[in-house]
A and B are shown apart, each in its own frame.
Chain A
Amino acid sequence: GIQVEQSPPDLILQEGANSTLRCNFSDSVNNLQWFHQNPWGQLINLFYIPSGTKQNGRLSATTVATERYSLLYISSSQTTDSGVYFCAVEGRRGGADGLTFGKGTHLIIQP
């Protein structure tokens, strides 16, 4: 099945800093989504972005499908941004795998 690698695995920043999270995938995709799992375990969908660029407030994401990577940008970080950020993809080849998640980037924003 498709492989998803996220980097960095851990990131500690001060409030107000900017960050870039990366997701590499091993095959062509027809579905790519970014999620934030807060410290209470709730998964929040941030973006559906199989290609192109989207922005939502302080967050933006870019997927370069031809080069098989996606980036999530967080600007002016707040403590509420802490948690785990997951990239999830579904390959164009299909198969009974659903969305495949990476292992996530654990982000800690310190006040």
Chain B
Amino acid sequence: DTGVSQNPRHKITKRGQNVTFRCDPISEHNRLYWYRQTLGQGPEFLTYFQNEAQLEKSRLLSDRFSAERPKGSFSTLEIQRTEQGDSAMYLCASSSTGGLREKLFFGSGTQLSVL
């Protein structure tokens, strides 16, 4: 399977705990994105990497959220001191560099539940 892979599929945590999610993009893709989706809404952009450089961050992204892509391959998204409002599906997507940004391919997501 050469699609975008995300782990874990589900995460249940208690309020105040830290959580970390992993994303492995399609191997030849140099762009990697994180999105968040809540029930009944479209995905909401969080941040974007080109290779190992984090080029964009949403103004909505709390400083409790941090993302890394240390070697330009897989990426991690960490949420510190989780709150109930962080409960959502966290989606990772990747794309390749073109003259314009090309098609996004999404993983299956990590469903986070904060109790």
Contact = CB atoms under 8 A, between A and B. Distances in A.
Contacts of B106: 35, 42-45
A100 B45 contact: yes
Decide if the interface of chain A is mainly helix, strand, loop or mixed: strand
Contacts of B93: 43
Contacts of A35: 106
Interface string B88-102: 010101000000111
A90 B45 CA distance: 11
Given A98-B33, A103-B42, A43 B91 contact: yes
Contacts of B43: 43, 86, 88, 101
Interface string B34-67: 0100001111110010000000111100000000
B104 interface: yes
A88 B48 CA distance: 16
Interface residues of B, number: 25
Contacts of B57: 96
B42 A101 contact: yes
A33 interface: yes
Nearest to A42: B108
B58 A103 contact: no
B109 interface: yes
A7 B69 CA distance: 37
B105 A45 contact: yes
Contacts of B41: 103
Interface string A70-111: 000000000000000010101000001111111110000000
Interface in B5-57: 33, 35, 40-45, 48, 56-57
17 contacts: A30-B101, A33-B103, A35-B106, A45-B103, A45-B104, A45-B105, A48-B103, A88-B42, A90-B101, A97-B56, A97-B58, A98-B56, A98-B58, A99-B45, A101-B42, A101-B44, A103-B41
Given A35-B106, A90-B101, A99-B33, 14 more contacts: A30-B100, A31-B100, A43-B91, A45-B103, A45-B104, A45-B106, A48-B102, A48-B103, A96-B56, A98-B33, A99-B104, A101-B44, A103-B40, A103-B42
